[in-house]
Structure 1
């Protein structure tokens, strides 16, 4: 049955708006006509209205299937307030008692209820299915439809059962809605929902008001975040972390630094989560630190920044989470901290999962790391991922466009890549293509006997770092494509075939090099480094004199990062020096500590330096407790691996903590443990290396010491060396 109504009048009557946004009117008309509908609309585009308005205009009750139990009440309250009628919208989920469920069913039977929100788990309950069979259903709306697809960023197995269940309840049109889906995911959703002929409405993914930036994740990431939030004081923001533990820790650190922040994750009870969400909406809290459990469907238009403390598992997740910024069209700053180490952790988490799931997860991670490392316009890269062409050369609102890298000629390399893809029959992914081009005899290449082909190693004379960005930029330029059905297989397009016949100019920019040990300049605010180069040079000279006098390498006196922070913050007392990264009580007690603050004080006096008030990142007690506990355990000569087990942390994380302790100036004796796990000569060799080396850099040590020493062994002896020589 088609409904003839004046949609603009209905929009004004129910929602108070004078006109529709984008495709809203066409989508609603399609639903009213009783046709299956697929809606791909970015966050802030007004997806909810696409099913809310037709539900109010049609006979019967619309079933909205949504995973967002915490937000159903919010949606129901909104609709009830708009209509001024109790019972016009309800939700049915595990939070209701029997009396409340009976009330919902009575309102539906009486014809009062136009919208019923149901969690997929509630939909599977036999009682609910039996009841809904007796109800006139106007249509089914599947919200967050990407949850159906294993290729989506938030796959939920229960979503796979939706189609058989709604078939059992009764036939009615279906509208599937999502804010983020690649071609592969869209195909998967339509196939699984049995709606291959659904009319598609795809809005542009471009959010011009959002600024995208990726920063290296240094040891000072907490301080960087606090600086950033203080620079945007009073503005609303969300910080995403992958682990609940990190969410709790970071929220506590922000509160200790007088930032109104709260934690939000699925491990908290529902009343706490609900209160936190309300406090954020009512602006009693400025910043939410959350896992991805927070934000789906949240109706707060003025979130001004979204920070990713950890790189997300997929670009779809990243896009949806950043999309919660600037929904009102105003400022939206999206800052992501990226570290190779985090990527390795995410990869490790996949071990033990089914092979197919690992394969999907790793491919999604590759896309995310490619986005993080690229020097190409981030907007162009994101839109290409979602199948949208963005022809603008410089978007002007991402870090790469504001600080463009020099382009290099790459037509010769593109021709090598295209010929290589053709030689292996367009049947492999980009990492395999790169292995083939660079002549790596991997197990897979040997198994396919591709090392015998004439073009194997055809690009081995080129700079190896060019191939990843070249393939990604050839994808964006349309010379190659990824097969949607066989995700990741590289195919040559008609444009690519033309290029092989007639080469034309092709320019690319090389990827960024992420050095996680260096300080980062705040790009978005147009700031430049506050480091004082003259003072930094003087501090280095003093360190050299002290190291020569003490017969120890300079880095055991103070690390570079400590000197650089001194040359930025100008500490002129020993108390102030304690706030410098890598300076603890042990360092303060060293006789040379006063020489450094005296030098800084003289320099400030002589050059009329007006010092800015220090931003002091206060840590929370829990971290100090852990450090004290580790020191006490080592004093009692408990094996380090036993300490790690007792604290519930990985051995590598324990070494991080122990290194931080000794680099801050506290002396620890781990000889008892070294005697148990390492050969004495082995310890002496590594110790001598550090005694004679000009750097304590781990990667350099691993290269120098060769295959005889493991990374853990080098780190353990380095701890012994720093403890004895520096403290």
Structure 2
């Protein structure tokens, strides 16, 4: 699968994390979905300010979009984003109709979506070109309260309101599910089957499981009853508590703003019942699961100053809990020993040398692994060998050897990107109609100097070569004329295409029309043979 799914609970520094994510992808197209107009504007502004882009040309690459903008302004921002002038658009769900941009590299949800269906549609706007893209979802129970408040405002149609509540409940269940493959969960929601074996660690849950994460079901019924009792008593005495306040009572803490109510709070029999057994976020998770099960409910309440807050009351299904219904939550426990590790794990092995000597030994490679990079590391400990196989991703052979070094690849890539942008402006077409970004990357690496070589590059195609081929080749040749690759030495960055059983290796040509080979069958030293 080309989409990777990652669901994260919002922490106190989640915006710093989000900004860091965007910073690493400034030249990629992305969408951040927010709940409100204000969230869109504030988030876009925060990203620009945190990255220090105020007043710079790069600041124009980040914009926001919502229904409050004038139609002409919305249309322009949509058009500029589609053409690549705007890279990141921070938007409400108003930004959705008519999106057909294939090279969206990431979709971030700043707030929990209103339903699984909405999430599936919105995250599905990433990676339509088949290349890898990231779907990152942040959620918090505070966001859940905001969503519930919006739904609660629809009092004219109780049936419609109930459907929205149920949709939101399923979305929270999806977020809270730390065990099942994300793609399996999504597709099963729509009645389709997907085996998690085919996920290949492209979602946070499958990745965590492959890294040794373990889970267990924990019975929290007794603690739910204590929290229910706290809410029931506080509401009956006209001293309703918010989720945070109820959590504090259960944890045995009193905030500064609650000092006047100290006697009342400390009077609860359940005061401090969760101390030392949970942290605050875990208690809030329990409370919100009670809300989802309708043991508890939230009501909007205004204080004397006119400010609103959500307070807890007993819910429609509260008696079920009191009468013996059990509640269990899935929690992370311990990590299991790893069996299969990613390539990066090889670095971690070095720390175990003091206990056992690490050595690399050649391993036989099966036919279906012939084009993948395999490292087998044997760790000798007490006479027993522990073997960890690490496979890099499958690589596709390039249509030709590289003609320039990595430095030149990057420079040519930027030149081709600039050329595509100018064509977009001159002909008023979308970038991906001219050449997909993946095609530009491939051209930069292969450096074709004829249309025939250009045709051999996957993702370019006959139609594009016919329409833009000569112009692309002109850009490449122009670059090679101005920035010729070094002729005296072969660049270490150049790729080697291995042929046969390593008897011959084709290397990049030193001059147009020449093919340089190295005969490795005889002397151990490299012999340059030019044909």
- Same fold (TM > 0.5): no
The structure carrying a bigger helix percent of its residues is: 1
TM-score, structure 1 normalization: 0.30
TM-score, scaled relative to structure 2:
0.40
